[in-house]
Amino acid sequence: MMRLPIRVRLTAWYLAVLCVCLAILGGVILVAARASVARIIDSDLSARLTATRIFMEQHISSEPPAELQDEFQEYSASQPGGALLQIKEESGEWIFQSLSMQKCAIELAPSSAAESSRFSSTVRGERSFRIITGKVAVRARNYAVQIATDTTNFTLVLQRLKWLLLISTPLAIGLALAGGYWLSSRALVPVRRVTETARSIGGDELSRRLDIPQTGDELQFLAQTLNDMLARIENSFKRMTQFTADASHELRTPVAIMRTTAEIALRQKRDEETYRKALQEVLEEAERTSSLIDDLLTLARADSAAQQLELSPTNIAEGIEMAFSRIKFLAAEKTVAVSLQVIQREVWIEGNHEALLRLFLVLFDNAVKYTPAGGKVSAVFDVVKGRSVFRIQDSGIGIAPEDLPCIFERFYRADKTRTRKQGGSGLGLAIAKWIADAHKAEIRVESTLGKGSVFTVEFLESRIELAQQDDALSVSLEK
Ligand code: ADP
């Protein structure tokens, strides 16, 4: 089903509500005006009936019938609204009937014994009347009295009011329709502007932003939100482009080395030893390249969130010890003294053993790599203030303060002059950070240039299991 534009829907809703309101208002005005006019007329008629009753009590017994007619004539003419009065005795004999009443020929039926007066309405030709019929008892005789008032003008006024409402309501609705449509179109202009700008932003112009209308309303909030979203998209787009560029750059070098080494070796006939050396060099480069590709893959999967680490209860100390045993030989080769102290052995976490091993390997590897021969690397794993903490300290080259905030970035190397053989690809700490995040752990570094560095991994959620005779008592550490 085709959806109508929002301004049309807004106007339609507004119109529907307005129609209902106007219909209710018009109805209420008409009914209230009619009721109020009727109340005024009826109370006037009641007052006139009371006055007539008093007049009759005073005159009927004292005046002879001939004069009584004149008295009634005079009285009826003096009444407001004219001489619409007729009086009949219970026996049916007319006491008085004014001329205008005769003309109207309104039937005078005596009211029942129970009621003292009753109201009725009647129409004679083009004129309408409101009538009160009452019972008056004078000297043990009952009379039926009828007083009428001409309501033609009131009816006319009410008719006019009705027509006025019937004509003016559609007019008001028409005006409101035009006004409502104009207003909603006007109110939606900034939305259209934001939409047009958003539509015009292409993939190569992610640095462009929407103009934010300073209206302090939902529109401003929407534009700001869209701008924030654009900034996030731009950021990740930049990171992706940078990552691809850095990755290609990193891969180009070893491939070039392998190619040149092979080309030189093949250029002329050489002895076996030279070929062996060349092949050895190619192998080393190939190994480095394949580990670089592994790292790149890990980070690419981490970015796409496709690689969700499978978590299961894992012993942290076990991972640390395993990494330590692997690094020992490398350290010995480099004559760097390494030591590990695991104070708390049974600390468990919902984690991934392989990933944790990699995290500790990166830290041990870096510590040994960036510590000159004769230096010292010492690592401790313990529970400090309810949290399990791994801390590795080296007496190596240290990191300059300006590099410290960047070392967890991809491809960042603090010392740019270091050769690829000495340093690494600059991906180790980025991977370590990702693994730490996935294990709700915090990774920090403190370092002094020329003196050494300390890397700390603090696990925010872990539990320690203490062996108590046969039962293992599990104590949850702070979350
Ligand atoms: P790399 O493969 O180059 O070691 P990393 O991501 O592991 O990459 O580390 C990034 C940079 O941080 C390194 O190039 C190095 O300059 C610096 N760094 C890391 N660990 C240490 C350390 N223990 N001592 C001194 N510098 C370090």
Q: Tell me: the pLDDT tens digits for 313-363? A: 999 999 999 999 999 999 999 999 999 999 988 889 999 999 999 999 999
Any ligand 1 atom below 6 A from CB of 412 = yes
Provide mean pLDDT across the span 458-473. Answer: 61
Atom of ligand 1 minimally distant from the CA of 362: 7
* E strands present in 200-359: 312-315, 337-342, 347-351
Find the 282 Cα to ligand 1 centroid distance in Å. Answer: 25
Any ligand 1 atom below 6 A from CB of 425 = yes
Q: Which of 23-27, 214-218, 417-421, 471-475 has the lowest mean pLDDT?
A: 471-475
Give the pLDDT band (50/70/90) at residue 423: low
Provide mean pLDDT across the span 192-204. Answer: 84
Provide mean pLDDT across the span 135-151. Answer: 85
Instruction: Answer whether residue 477 shows pLDDT above 50.
Output: no
Instruction: Answer whether residue 471 shows pLDDT above 60.
Output: no
Provide mean pLDDT across the span 89-115. Answer: 74
Give the pLDDT band (50/70/90) at residue 425: confident
Q: Report residue 49: phi and psi, to 5°.
A: -65, -40
Mutate to test the pocket of ligand 1, among 298, 358, 366 (most ligand atoms within 8 A of CB): 366
Find the 383 Cα to ligand 1 centroid distance in Å. Answer: 26
Q: Residue with the nearest Cα to atom 23 of ligand 1?
A: 367
pLDDT tens-place string over residues 43-88:
999 998 888 888 888 877 766 666 777 777 777 777 665 668 888 8
Q: Report residue 394: phi and psi, to 5°.
A: -130, 160
Do residues 142 and 87 make contact, with C-beta atoms less than 8 angstroms apart? no
Do residues 243 and 410 make contact, with C-beta atoms less than 8 angstroms apart? yes
Is-above-0.85 flag for pTM? Answer: no
Q: Which residues of 43-81 are buried (b: 16+ CB within 10 A; e: fewer)?
A: ebbeebbeebbebbeeebeeeeeeebeebbeebbeebee
Find the 461 Cα to ligand 1 centroid distance in Å. Answer: 27
Cβ neighbours of residue 452 closer than 8 Å, sequence gap 6 or more: 371, 375, 393, 394, 395, 396, 397, 398
Cβ neighbours of residue 48 closer than 8 Å, sequence gap 6 or more: 79, 80, 81, 132, 147
Q: Which of 15-29, 37-51, 125-139 has the lowest mean pLDDT?
A: 125-139
Any ligand 1 atom below 6 A from CB of 414 = yes
Q: Torsion-angle region of residue 146: left (phi > 0), alpha (psi -120 to 50) or beta? A: beta
Q: Which of 32-41, 102-111, 174-183, 367-376 has the lowest mean pLDDT?
A: 102-111
Any ligand 1 atom below 6 A from CB of 377 = no
Atom of ligand 1 minimally distant from the CA of 427: 6
Distance, CA of 320 to CA of 351 (rounded, Å):
13
- What is the token pair recorded at 465? 């299991």
Give the angle 403-287-297 at the CA atoms, nearest 5°: 65
Provide mean pLDDT across the span 266-286. Answer: 92
- What is the token pair recorded at 476? 């949850």
Residue ranges of the alpha helices (H) in 268-315? 272-304
Provide mean pLDDT across the span 157-164. Answer: 92
351: helix, coil or strand?
A: strand
* E strands present in 403-460: 441-448, 452-459
pLDDT of residue 277: 93
| 239, 241, 245, 248 alpha-carbon torsion, rounded to 10° | 100
Strand order of the β-sheet with 94-97 is 94-97, 85-89, 141-150, 127-138, 117-124
Q: Which of 4-18, 151-165, 352-366, 465-479 has the lowest mean pLDDT?
A: 465-479
- What is the token pair recorded at 404? 């410290």
Find the 398 Cα to ligand 1 centroid distance in Å. Answer: 9
pLDDT: which is higher, 239 or 472 = 239
Provide mean pLDDT across the span 225-250. Answer: 88
pLDDT of residue 465: 65
- What is the token pair recorded at 216? 């302090």
